């Protein structure tokens, strides 16, 4: 597939596509002054293909958990850099999903005020969404994504072969962001995606195309507003309630599945507020309900959920900022008062429509 190039405040970086893990690793092994941060599961699953890259090079294995995506986890990675005498000439190669990416970006940003780093995403979410945009957030004092930095990679190398071992639920999570980006893109893009996955399931032969299309849609937004001051905020579609659900379930639901659920709830709010038409709501709901159904251990409490949104970075003057869909391809930013009306809508959604059940 054709590479992409992403313009950022720190320069232009390429996103290229490799066909095999072995070929990619052989290529990365050419770089002498590099250290590797890698997801422990990936290191185990791809030990043979990774050997030329990992042999004789400092390697820090990270367990991909939200507990590791904290100051403590970053401290371990920074200690690894110190113990291996990393200098400003050292390049960091990060291999893993969004968790590994967040830890690597944060550490590369603060170590000596910025190391060069490149990213090899191994989850669908990493490939189709988080690998571009330069954002990194880590959890702090039990709250998700509270501390963050912007630090662009020098290069992103995508190899879809990694998806062979990715569990279906993680694949589904990546599709949460893919559906979001296609809804941001246009009606045609969303409908093409919806019909392909309805017909062929998640492992559709068109998946590489969906990854590239998602990145193309995101690129057009982040190149205009890299630092989240205006347009980029629409990429938070589904995230306010998605993060709240992650929080009340103690991360008992994968990020992208929570985002799919958050989009569905926001779409209902958009219908109630006269912004989104019923027919569009139903068409999108059908896909989300069919493909993202998820069973939780306990019931979701509407008040606890709404309360959890108060930690959101987008709460201002005691009002929520919601990204609401007008129609596929068109999103708007709206303030939403806390109060009885919002509670009613959330309760109604949970009782009658929720794609996440217990
Ligand atoms: N920085 C950003 O822009 C951004 C954007 C979205 C999400 N995130 C963050 O990313 C995190 C979620 O990341 P994620 O969904 O990519 O997953 P992840 O990094 O949490 O990994 C999920 C699981 O898949 C395993 N895994 C990874 N690659 C594998 C492979 N190829 N085969 C088999 N198993 C594999 C991991 O070990 C882990 O068990 C969240 O913390 C979220 O907040 C960051
Ligand atoms: Zn997200």
| 259 alpha carbon, closest ligand | 2
**Collapsed DSSP state (helix, strand, coil) of residue 296:** coil
Under the banding of pLDDT at 50, 70 and 90, the label for residue 329 is: very high
Q: Closest residue (by CA) to atom 7 of ligand 1? A: 98
pLDDT, tens digit (0-9, with 9 covering 90-100), for 145-169: 889 999 999 999 999 999 999 999 9
Cβ–ligand 1 distance for 238 under 6 Å, the answer no
Res 298 pLDDT > 90: no
The pLDDT score that the predictor gives to residue 56 is 87
CB atoms within 10 A of CB 67: 11
Sign of the dihedral through C-alpha 307, 308, 311, 316: negative
User: At residue 228, does pLDDT exceed 90?
Assistant: no
How much of the chain, in percent, has pLDDT values that exceed 90?
Answer: 90
**For residue 28, is pLDDT > 80?**
yes
How many other CB atoms are there within 10 angstroms of residue 261's CB atom?
A: 26
pLDDT at 316 over 70: no
Written in H, E and C, the secondary structure of 227-288 is CCCCHHHHHHCCHHHHHHHHHHCCCCCCHHHHHHHHHHHHHHHHHHCCCCCHHHHHHHHHHH
Per residue in 336-353, is it b (16+ CB within 10 Å) or e — as a string? beeeeebeebbeebbeee
- Residue % of the chain over a pLDDT of 70: 98
Rounded to the nearest integer, the mean pLDDT of the chain is 95
Atom of ligand 1 nearest to the CA of 105: 1
The 10s digit of each residue's pLDDT in 274-293 is: 999 999 999 999 999 999 99
Cα separation, 175 vs 207, in Å, equals 10
Task: Report which bound ligand comes closest to the CA of 128.
Answer: 1
Q: What mean pLDDT comes out for the span 48-68?
A: 95
Q: Provide the pLDDT confidence category of residue 102 given band limits of 50, 70 and 90.
A: very high
């Amino acid at each position: 597939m054709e590479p992409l190039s992403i313009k950022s405040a720190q320069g232009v970086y390429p996103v290229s596509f490799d066909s095999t893990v072995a070929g990619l690793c052989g290529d990365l092994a050419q770089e002498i002054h590099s250290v590797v941060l890698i997801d422990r599961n990936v290191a185990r699953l791809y030990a043979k293909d990774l050997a030329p890259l990992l042999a004789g090079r400092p390697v820090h294995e990270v367990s991909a958990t939200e507990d590791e995506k904290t100051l403590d986890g970053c401290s371990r990675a920074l200690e690894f850099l110190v113990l291996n005498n990393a200098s400003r000439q050292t390049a960091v190669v990060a291999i893993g999903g969004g968790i590994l990416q967040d830890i690597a970006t944060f550490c590369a940003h603060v170590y000596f005020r910025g190391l060069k780093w490149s990213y090899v995403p191994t989850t669908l979410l990493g490939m189709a969404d988080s690998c571009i945009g330069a954002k990194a957030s880590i959890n702090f004092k039990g709250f998700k994504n509270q501390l963050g930095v912007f630090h662009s990679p020098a290069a992103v190398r995508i190899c879809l072969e990694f998806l062979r071992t990715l569990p279906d639920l993680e694949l589904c999570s990546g599709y949460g962001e893919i559906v979001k980006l296609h809804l941001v893109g246009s009606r045609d893009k969303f409908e093409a995606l919806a019909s392909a996955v309805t017909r062929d399931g998640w492992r559709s032969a068109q998946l590489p195309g969906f990854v590239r299309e998602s990145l193309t849609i995101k690129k057009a937004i982040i190149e205009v507003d890299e630092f989240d001051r205006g347009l980029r905020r629409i990429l938070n579609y589904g995230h306010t309630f998605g993060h709240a659900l992650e929080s009340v379930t103690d991360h008992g639901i994968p990020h992208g599945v929570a985002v799919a659920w958050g989009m569905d709830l926001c779409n209902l709010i958009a219908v109630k507020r006269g912004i989104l038409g019923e027919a569009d709501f139903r068409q999108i709901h059908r896909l989300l309900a069919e493909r993202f159904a998820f069973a939780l251990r306990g019931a979701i409490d509407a008040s606890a959920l709404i309360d959890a949104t108060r930690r959101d970075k987008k709460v201002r003057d005691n009002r929520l900022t919601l990204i609401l869909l007008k129609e596929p391809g068109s999103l708007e930013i709206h303030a939403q008062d806390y109060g009885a009306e919002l509670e009613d809508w959330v309760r109604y959604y949970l009782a009658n429509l929720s794609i996440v059940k217990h």
